[in-house]
Amino acid sequence: MMSRISLLTVLALAGAVGLSACGEKPQTLGTKNDATAFSGVSNAFAAPGWQAGDKNSWEQQLRARGQYGMNDHTRAP
């Protein structure tokens, strides 16, 4: 009787250990959250003249840079 109980216990334990490998890790799809461009960079290459974190200031910086750098009609009309 005792040996039968111990055999059942061993079998139950072996089953539990064996089935533990059947668990599934969560697999999430999709991209990581990206920081906004106007939040600035952590390095020393940021252009001067605008405030990191201020969206309006960043937009004005890009607009001014685009006009000055690419619109040669305003520089040499």
Partner 1 sequence: MARMKFICDAERCIECNGCVTACKNEHEVPWGVNRRRVVTLNDGVPGEKSISVACMHCSDAPCMAVCPVNCFYKTDEGVVLHDKDVCIGCGYCSYACPFGAPQFPAQGTFGVRGKMDKCTFCAGGPEANGSQAEFEKYGRNRLAEGKLPACAEMCSTKALLAGDGDVVADIFRERVVKRNKGAEVWGWGTAYGSKQAGQQAAVEGVKK
2-10, 14-22, 33-41 -> range binding partner 1 (CB under 8 A)? 33-41
CA distances 20 to 3, 25, 28, 30, Å, are 26, 12, 21, 28
Interatomic CA distance for residues 22 and 25, integer angstroms: 10
Residue 25 beta carbon to partner 1: minimum distance, rounded to whole angstroms: 16
The residue type found at 19 is L
Q: Quick check: 32 binds partner 1 (CB under 8 A)? A: yes
Residues near partner 1, by CB under 8 A:
29-43, 45-47, 49-50, 58-59, 61-63, 65-67, 69-73
